[in-house]
């Protein structure tokens, strides 16, 4: 027994081996899902700030309005791409885990 009464890894038997594709799909899923949420959150925070400025000033500069529109398009496309990557990797992860069970 090791320190604190815990068994050493050698005494526990063979280590659990995780296949590289499982790790890859899990990593892609976690990163892309997190980034998709962060992209939407950042856009919504920026939009709330711009709305507060608009309310204080009573108008929005036309150039700022174009920037808001372009930002919305980039947010939708970026979050969409990250969501597609997240769903794809989740499906591949489930498939890889099922292969291991059979």
In the chain, what are the domain boundaries?
19-101
Top-confidence residue, 101 or 17: 17
Mean pLDDT of 66-91: 92
Instruction: Say whether pLDDT at 75 is over 80.
Output: yes
pTM of the predicted model, to two decimals? 0.69
Q: Spell out the SS3 assignment of 2-59.
A: CHHHCCCHHHHCCCCCCCHHHHHHHHHHHHHHHHHHHHHHHHHHHHHHHHHHHHHHCC
- What are the tens digits of pLDDT across the range 9-31? 556 666 778 788 889 999 999 99
């Amino acid at each position: 027994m090791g320190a604190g009464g815990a068994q050493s890894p050698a005494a526990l038997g063979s280590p659990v081996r995780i296949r590289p594709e499982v790790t890859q799909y899990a990593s892609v899923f976690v990163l892309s899902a997190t980034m998709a949420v962060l992209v939407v959150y950042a856009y919504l925070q920026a939009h709330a700030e711009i709305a507060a400025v608009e309310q204080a000033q009573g108008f929005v500069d036309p150039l700022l309005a174009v920037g808001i529109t372009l930002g919305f398009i980039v947010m939708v496309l970026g979050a969409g791409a990250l969501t597609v990557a997240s769903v794809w990797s989740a499906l591949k992860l489930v498939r890889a885990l099922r292969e291991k069970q059979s």
